[in-house]
């Protein structure tokens, strides 16, 4: 057997272990009885340790060397060359971080999460301070394992968005904020033009299930290779080839939460399900760039789901199922209402970006030592007032609202807003390349868009970084323009901006 | 760290991997979308390989030596000494079998299973012959890896019933057959004394779910640490401490299938759930003797579930839920009807044993070369006529009915009937030690029995072989008497024997 062959066999095992981890996490969040938690965390820790040891072993290093020599001269964009490059990057990163630091970070993240749940419940930021300080201290130690970066934040960001630099994000976000703020200001003056009351009422869950099932089926959900289950914090997961799982939650008083949430998760699922067969069980067999992933969920949730065209598909079914009368235009306007609000995950398409810009700025301030953890609530509240014009009543609905920092995930937030930008660029391109995209969507035919995305984006899996992929598909790097243009069109439409 | 400590850490990892395997299999049989099958089999193969490698590594051998030296002088029945002994046995066995034979057996088992599904569907034994011959050939190669046994079958039996010898089973089964045959003959002459028609009708699944949930709750099922799901072939599984899962299937025309089937699986679940905390994540943390396991499921299904006392609890609820009128005595008699039949899994308590004796005899004939695979159907049909007095209309309902041989599981069947014998002994003892056991059950109070079993049996996990445990609890080895005495009492009651 060649060394490449031997390496690929090992990477297939790693891919299996990765899939097994996905199943354990899916089960934990959908099926597991509560008292299985301790045992599950032990199983996940063991699985993680075994995967990690397999990845960083000297054998893997030797095989990487040998395989690289064998591949010398292969096209750098071939599947094998890219799988090797991606593995090399993961291997080098994993080798740099001592096992005890990895364990320490995992433990601090678990403790931080516990403390955060309680601190948020009591809206008591002071109780959370030592845990966030500890996570920051460990983040510094983590950054200290690397060299050759422009700033510490680059090292953290790279874990969620491979290849992306802080400076690039900062430039994009500066432009994004400059564009979003006047848009939001303009809407604020016209707030009375949109009435979203049709979204609220009594919507029995079993009827919502039918509505959601129909929408997902149009997107490509099939019970042959998908499942949908209930959970508290919705997510999507791919357990392996032919096994994609999404989750949602139900609010009997507000159907939009389950409907657009499920379309969002189905967008993630379509990405994973669309990855080429030949990449499965390789290091390229799952999406890796979180901005690319988020671009898919956002594109389906917002650009398709909240479009005027698809509102024409949804409104009659909503009216039938809930025995009410919502016309497409009313639905379209209601689900595109813009209103500055406290909670990121409930934010509309326009204000969402500012929630992210603010978090990105604070993460850099914290990691660079420009802001002490204890000063965070005051700074948070001031900036929420500055960016979104709203007052934060308590820390539970302010600085304590998100889980990420408690678990030590610093550098994650930017990918959400980058996902919107990428979605804007892909949407612009899809619209140019797919004949009568709008008409197709209005007819409930989502197949052409799905196939376009599969061909251009999904099938490549983790083969390309977000920037490389966008270059291939759109001929441009990540940019703010297309997303803002899309948003302006919609808000002009809805608010007469 | 001591070598014992190091070994225990490694065994905890093995226990985690074992639990992970349980989750993968549970999911495959309850949740997984159909097209995930290929990917799941790859994940299971990788997991199995990693577990196996970890168990048989030279490191494990070195730690076993070192730990044994450190433990020298410890009580042989201490948890550590037993964990070491059990691991030593598993290690020695696993080291003797070459990896390529293990892989070959797994592949032949998978192919055999596929062929069996199709052969059974078409009732075409000839199509199945080469697969069973292959499994037998591999079984011989497997047996050839060992020495120091009395007969080849000992080696196979030991995989399902550690420590048990073929000669012991043969003696027990000879006695069992001698006792059962006249009992069954006696019932045959009084067949018209029992009318089971009350079990058949229209029983909506949602009402059955309530009935089953109530029965299981009396047994100790709690949603805090248990789940129940639907499946095709019911089973029980323990995914780790605090996470026990059982499954059932529903027949709208016959409620007894789900009800007593669920009590059976809950019996298995109670065993696993009752294993002591300190044995979790050790080699003793799951039941290993299949006869002990089956004794628990049978005891709850038959000795409790089908008792006159519990029929008094069930009948009023059945009457209410299905809007009918079944009195306790009618239910009691109906669910204890004895009638020789074709299919093992549908057999009653009395005839069941003969289905097993027959399989045990044929397994020995096959492995000893006294019977060719091609001769099996004729021999099967003749013996079914001899033992149970019934004609086998086709191989699908005869020699092809069970999955075990197709997957290479030779030596498994005896444990089912041994389970009945063990249940008989435990039941006799429980009745002697628990005050007014019958009255408690009649009052729906199943806690005293469950706690008695937990204390005497469950908490020990895999610490003792079946014979050792029975010696501790009842002062006797496995025997036929108590089960037959129990059966005679019941059949006298029901049939006036």
Enclosing H/E stretch for A293: helix A290-298
Q: Check if the beta carbon of residue B180 is closer than 8 Å to that of residue B424.
A: no
Kindly state whether B226 is in contact with chain A, defined as any CB-CB distance less than 8 angstroms. yes
B404, B363 Cβ separation under 8 angstroms? no
List all residues of chain B from 35 to 94 with a beta carbon under 8 Å from chain A.
35-40, 42-43, 45-47, 49-50
In whole angstroms, what separates CA B467 from the centre of its chain? 16
Q: What is the token pair recorded at B84? A: 């070491």
Measured in angstroms, the CA of A441 and the nearest CA of chain B are apart by: 28
Question: Is residue A292 a contact partner of residue A466, using CB atoms and an 8 Å limit?
Answer: yes
Burial of A439 (0-12, 13-18, 19+ CB in 10 A): exposed
| Residues of B in Cβ contact (< 8 Å) with A281 | 42
Closest to A263 measured CA to CA, from A230, A296, A231, A225: A296
Q: Looking at B152, B178, B198, which one is the last position of a domain? A: B152
Contact B440, B446 (CB under 8 A): yes
Given A23, A37, A46, which is nearest B23 (Cβ)? A23
- What average pLDDT score do residues A457-477 get? 97
Residue in A closest to B14 by C-alpha: A46
**Closest alpha carbon within chain B to A42:** B16
Per DSSP, the three-state class of A243 is strand
- Chain A residues whose CB is inside 8 A of the B39 CB are 19, 239-243, 280
Q: Which residues of A touch B51 (CB under 8 A)?
A: none
Which pLDDT band, with edges at 50, 70 and 90, does A313 fall under? very high
Asked if B46's CB is within 8 angstroms of A243's CB, the reply is no
CA-derived radius of gyration, chain B: 23
B462 vs B279: CA distance, rounded Å: 9
Describe the strand order of the beta sheet including A226-230 as a list of residue ranges: A226-230, A243-248, A236-240
A225 touches chain B (CB under 8 A): yes
**Between chains, do B24 and A20 touch, taking CB under 8 Å as contact?**
yes
Q: How far is the C-alpha of A160 from the C-alpha of A404, rounded, in Å? A: 12
Same domain as B178, residue B90? no
Mean local confidence (pLDDT), A409-414: 98
Indicate if A118 and A187 belong to the same structural domain: no
B225 to A46: CB separation less than 8 angstroms, yes or no:
no
Please indicate, yes or no, whether residues A152 and A225 belong to a single structural domain of this protein. Answer: no
One domain for residues B169 and B141: no
Whether A46 and B280 lie within 8 Å, measured CB to CB: no
> Mean of the pLDDT values across residues A28-33?
96
**What is chain A's alpha carbon radius of gyration, rounded to the nearest angstrom?**
23
Q: What angle do CA A459, A463, A467 make, to 5 degrees?
A: 105
Among the candidates B95, B118, B152, a domain finishes at B152
Question: Which of chain A's residues have a Cβ under 8 Å away from the Cβ of B43?
Answer: 16, 19-20, 23, 240
What single-letter DSSP state applies at residue B307? S
Could you tell me if A379 and A408 lie in one domain? yes
DSSP E strand stretches across B130-270: 226-230, 236-240, 243-248
List CB contacts (< 8 A) between A41 and chain B.
Answer: none
**E strand or H helix at B247:** strand B243-248
Instruction: Give yes or no for A396 touching B (CB within 8 A).
Output: no
In the predicted model, what is the mean pLDDT of chain A? 97
CA dist., res. B165 & res. B418, Å (int): 12
Say if residue B109 is in the same domain as residue B214. Answer: no
* Residues A99 and A243 both lie in one domain: no
What is the predicted pLDDT for the residue at A405?
97
Q: Which two three-digit tokens encode residue A409?
A: 């995930």
The strand pairing partners of A238, in sequence order, are: A244
Choosing from B161, B179, B265, B363, which is the catalytic residue? B265
Q: Quote the pLDDT of residue B307.
A: 98
Residue B383: the pLDDT is: 98
CB contact under 8 A, B243 and A280: no
B:152-191 residues touching chain A, CB 8 A cutoff: none
Q: What is the pLDDT of residue B147?
A: 95
Measured distance CA(B138)–CA(B257) in Å, rounded: 36
Q: What is the DSSP string of B435-475?
A: TTHHHHHHTT--HHHHHHHHHHTGGGTTSS-HHHHHHHHHS
At A497 the pLDDT is 83
- CATH code at A194? 1.10.1370.30
SS3 (DSSP) at B135: helix
Q: Closest partner residue to A39 among B31, B40, B242, by Cβ?
A: B242
- How far apart, in whole angstroms, are the C-alpha atoms of residue A455 and residue A449? 10
pLDDT at residue A274 greater than cutoff 90: yes
Does the CB of A243 have a partner CB in chain B at under 8 Å? yes
Specify the number of domains making up chain B: 2
Facing residue for B226 by CB, picked from A16, A33, A243: A33
Claim to verify: residue A167 and residue A135 sit in the same structural domain: no
CA distance A243 to chain B (A): 5
pLDDT at residue B73, rounded to an integer: 84
At B74 the pLDDT is 85
Cβ–Cβ of A40/B241 closer than 8 Å?
A: no
ipTM over 0.90: yes
Tokens 């899916």 belong to which residue?
A26
DSSP B180-192: HHHHHHHHHTTGG
Is the same domain home to B15 and B71? yes
Same domain, A230 and A372: yes
Contacts of A12 in chain B (CB under 8 A): 42, 46
Mean pLDDT in consecutive groups of 10 residues from the start of chain B, 497 residues: 96 98 96 95 94 96 97 91 97 95 93 95 97 98 96 97 97 98 94 95 98 98 98 95 97 97 98 97 97 98 98 98 96 97 96 98 97 98 97 97 96 98 98 98 98 98 97 97 98 93
pLDDT tens per residue across span A113-139: 999 999 999 999 999 999 999 999 999
Test mutation, B17, B20, B21, chain A, max A CBs within 10 A: B20
Shared domain check, B406 and B393: yes
Task: Provide the 8-state DSSP code for B305.
Answer: I
What per-residue confidence (pLDDT) applies to B141? Answer: 98
CA distance B13 to chain A (A): 6
- Check B243 against A42: CB less than 8 A apart: no
φ and ψ at B230, to 5 degrees?
Answer: -90, 150
> Residue B358: which domain range?
153-497
Which of A12, A20, A239 is nearest residue B20 as measured by Cβ atoms?
A20
pLDDT exceeds 90 at position A74? no
| Active-site residue flag, A161 | no
Residues A115 and A205 in one domain: no
Contacts with B16 from chain A: Cβ below 8 Å: 42-43, 45-47
| Residue A457 to residue B370: CA distance in whole angstroms | 62
pTM > 0.90: yes
A vs B, Cβ pairs < 8 A, gives 128
Last residue of a domain, one of A107, A137, A157: A157
Q: Do B16 and A224 touch (CB under 8 A)?
A: no
Q: Verify whether the Cβ–Cβ distance B43 to A16 is below 8 Å.
A: yes
Least Cα separation, residue A103 to chain B (angstroms): 16
Contact predicate A309/A270, CB 8 Å: no
């Amino acid at each position: 057997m060649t060394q490449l062959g031997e390496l690929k066999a090992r990477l297939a095992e790693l891919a299996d272990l990765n899939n097994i981890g996905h199943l354990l996490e899916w089960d934990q969040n959908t099926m597991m009885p509560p008292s299985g938690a301790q045992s599950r965390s032990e199983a996940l820790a063991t699985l993680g340790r075994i995967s990690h040891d397999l990845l960083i072993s000297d054998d893997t290093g030797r095989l990487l060397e040998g395989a690289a020599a064998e591949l010398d001269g292969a096209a750098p964009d071939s599947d094998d060359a890219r799988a090797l490059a991606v593995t090399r990057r993961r291997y080098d990163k994993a080798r740099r971080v001592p096992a005890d630091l990895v364990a320490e970070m995992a433990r601090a993240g678990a403790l931080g999460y516990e403390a955060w749940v309680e601190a948020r419940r009591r809206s008591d930021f002071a109780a959370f301070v030592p845990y966030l300080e500890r996570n920051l201290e460990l983040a510094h130690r983590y950054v200290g394992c690397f060299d050759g970066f422009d700033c510490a934040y680059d090292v953290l960001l790279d874990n969620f968005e491979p290849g992306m630099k802080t400076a690039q994000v900062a430039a994009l976000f500066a432009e994004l904020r400059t564009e979003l703020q006047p848009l939001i200001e303009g809407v604020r003056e016209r707030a009375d033009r949109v009435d979203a009351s049709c979204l609220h009422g009594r919507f029995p869950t079993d009827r919502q299930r039918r509505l959601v099932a129909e929408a997902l089926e149009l997107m490509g959900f099939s019970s042959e290779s998908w499942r949908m289950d209930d959970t508290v914090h919705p997510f999507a997961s791919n357990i392996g080839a032919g096994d994609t799982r999404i989750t949602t939650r139900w609010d009997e008083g507000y159907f939009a939460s389950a409907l657009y949430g499920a379309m969002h998760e189905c967008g993630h699922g379509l990405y994973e399900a669309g990855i080429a067969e030949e990449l499965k069980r390789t290091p390229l067999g799952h999406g890796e760039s979180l901005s690319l992933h988020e671009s898919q969920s956002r594109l389906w949730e917002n650009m398709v789901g909240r479009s005027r065209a698809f509102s024409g598909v949804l409104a009659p079914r909503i009216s039938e199922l809930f025995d009410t009368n919502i016309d497409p235009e009313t639905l379209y306007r209601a689900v595109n209402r813009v209103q500055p609000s406290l909670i990121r995950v409930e934010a509309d398409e326009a204000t969402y970006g500012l929630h992210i810009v603010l978090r990105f700025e604070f993460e850099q301030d914290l990691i660079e030592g420009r802001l002490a953890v204890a000063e965070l609530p005051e700074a948070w509240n001031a900036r929420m007032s500055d960016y979104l014009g709203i007052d934060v009543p308590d820390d539970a609905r302010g600085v304590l609202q998100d889980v990420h920092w408690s678990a030590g995930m610093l550098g994650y937030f930017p990918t959400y807003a980058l996902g919107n930008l990428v979605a804007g660029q892909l949407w612009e391109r899809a619209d140019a390349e797919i004949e009568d995209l709008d008409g197709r969507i209005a007819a409930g035919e989502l197949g052409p868009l799905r196939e376009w995305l599969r061909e251009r984006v999904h099938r490549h899996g983790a083969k390309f970084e977000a920037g490389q992929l966008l270059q291939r598909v759109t001929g441009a790097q990540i940019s703010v323009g297309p997303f803002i243009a899309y948003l302006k069109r919609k808000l002009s439409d809805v608010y007469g901006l």
